[in-house]
């Protein structure tokens, strides 16, 4: 047997699996990008925040843009998934509207402030960033469009137009609410926006002749 050394041994840093290391680096990068924006953020800052060397950072991401795009992909997918989940969670269309509105408010209000990467990016003129931001809009609209077509039998172009109105109203209202200091309690703000959207969309009849809800009075 080899005798144990009597001297103190220096502990080696934990070697994380590649997927765990990538997740750690993305979390550190998000904090730096949110705090400083893309242009002012430095790979040195991100490596320091993650507690790794720059060579380790570059093993996973060849540059700052690739790191930023990876973050965008993660959060773009998340908001689209939230809206799609709201559409699939219930057959009750009023609850679907509430769920879609809640998805936008939750995304905007999350403590990570990831919404800034998607909706307030200082790199939106970059074609790759712009493509991802547009994908969020298109993906959320598509999720709602599918439900409207299924329930009402409207033509795809009609359903897509209505879906864009729903997604636009929910997204803009959530951004306005956050930018103005959350003056209205979140649950109340969500309910107000959902009621406005529902009052309009409920007037469209479901397939089979019944209405999606109580239609609004039209003077």
pLDDT score recorded for residue 207: 63
Average pLDDT, the chain: 85
Mean pLDDT of 122-130: 87
| In this structure, CATH architecture of domain 66-200 | Orthogonal Bundle (1.10)
Tens-place pLDDT, residues 148-184: 888 887 889 999 999 999 999 999 999 999 999 999 9
Which band of pLDDT confidence, cut at 50, 70 and 90, is reported for residue 6?
A: very low
Would you list the DSSP string of 2-21? PPPPSS--PPPPP---HHHH
> Domain map of the chain by residue range?
18-62, 66-200
Among residues 64, 19, 20, which one has the least CA distance to residue 46? 64
**Does domain 18-62 fall into CATH 1.10.10.60?**
yes
Q: Which residue has the higher pLDDT, 40 or 121?
A: 40
Tens-place pLDDT, residues 196-218: 999 888 777 666 554 444 433 32
- Rounded (to 5) percent helix, strand, coil in the chain: 70, 0, 30
CA dihedral 209, 200, 179, 75 (to 10 degrees): 20
Mean pLDDT of 2-12: 46
CB 156, CB 145: distance < 8 Å: yes
Mean pLDDT of 32-61: 92
State the Rg of the chain over Cα.
Answer: 23
pLDDT score recorded for residue 53: 92
Tens-place pLDDT, residues 97-116: 999 999 999 999 987 788 88
pLDDT at 17 over 90: no
CB 205, CB 152: distance < 8 Å: yes
Tens-place pLDDT, residues 189-200: 999 999 999 988
């Amino acid at each position: 047997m080899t005798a144990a050394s009597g001297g103190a041994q220096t502990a080696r840093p934990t070697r994380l699996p590649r997927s765990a290391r990538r997740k750690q680096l993305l979390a550190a990068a998000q904090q730096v990008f949110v705090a400083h924006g893309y242009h002012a953020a430095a790979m040195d800052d991100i490596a320091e925040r993650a507690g790794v060397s720059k060579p380790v950072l570059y093993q996973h991401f060849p540059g700052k843009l690739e790191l930023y795009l990876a973050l965008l992909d993660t959060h773009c997918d998340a908001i689209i998934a939230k809206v799609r989940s709201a559409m699939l969670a219930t057959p009750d269309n009023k609850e679907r509207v509430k769920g879609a509105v809640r998805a936008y408010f939750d995304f905007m209000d999350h403590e990570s402030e990831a919404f800034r990467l998607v909706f307030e990016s200082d790199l939106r003129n970059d074609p790759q960033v712009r493509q991802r931001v547009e994908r969020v809009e298109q993906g959320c609209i598509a999720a709602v469009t599918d439900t409207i077509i299924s329930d009402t039998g409207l033509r795809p172009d009609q359903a897509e137009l209505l879906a864009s109105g729903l997604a636009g109203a929910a997204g803009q209202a959530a951004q306005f609410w956050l930018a103005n200091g959350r003056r209205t309690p979140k649950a109340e703000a969500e309910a107000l926006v959902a009621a406005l959207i529902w009052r309009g969309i409920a007037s469209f009849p479901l397939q089979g002749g019944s209405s999606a809800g109580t239609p609004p009075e039209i003077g």
